[in-house]
Amino acid sequence: MDDRTFNFSYQEFYLIGFTDLKDYRRYLFIPFFVIFAFTLFANSIIILVIVKESKLHAPMYILIGFIAALGFIQPIFLVPRMLISFLFGKNIIYKDECLVQMFCLHMAGCFQSTILVGMAVDRFFAIVFPLQYHDYVNFKTSLIFCLSLFFRNLFCVVAMVGLIGPLYFCKSNMIYHCVCEHTSVVNLACGDVSKNYMAGTIAFSLITSDCVFIICSYIVIFVIIFRSPSSESRQKAIYTCSTHLMVMVLAFLSVVVVFVGYRVPTIPRDFRVLGTLSYLLLPNCFNPVIYGIRTKEIRVKIVKYLSSNKVDSY
Indicate if the alpha-carbon torsion angle 42, 48, 50, 51 is positive or negative.
positive
For the stretch 269-293, pLDDT in tens is 888 888 788 878 888 888 888 777 7
- The pLDDT assigned to 6 comes to 58
Q: Report which listed range, 99-103, 136-140, 180-184, 223-227, is most confident.
A: 99-103
User: 27 pLDDT exceeds 70?
Assistant: yes
What confidence tens digit (pLDDT) does each residue in 217-253 have?
A: 888 888 887 776 666 666 766 766 776 677 677 767 7
In angstroms, the Cα distances linking 300 to 56, 238, 284 are 12, 20, 21
Say if pTM beats, i.e. exceeds, 0.85.
no
Q: Select the more confidently predicted residue: 298 or 175.
A: 175
Domains of the chain plus CATH, in order, are 3-313 (1.20.1070.10)
pLDDT value for 134: 81
pLDDT score for 1: 46
Q: Please give, one letter per residue, the 3-state secondary structure of 31-46.
A: HHHHHHHHHHHHHHHH
Q: What is the pLDDT of residue 44?
A: 92
Average pLDDT in the chain: 82
Q: Over 60: is that where the pLDDT of 5 sits?
A: no
- Residue type present at position 198: M
Mean pLDDT of 158-168: 89
Query: What pLDDT sits at residue 310?
Result: 55
Residues 6+ apart with CB under 8 A from 163: 195, 196, 199
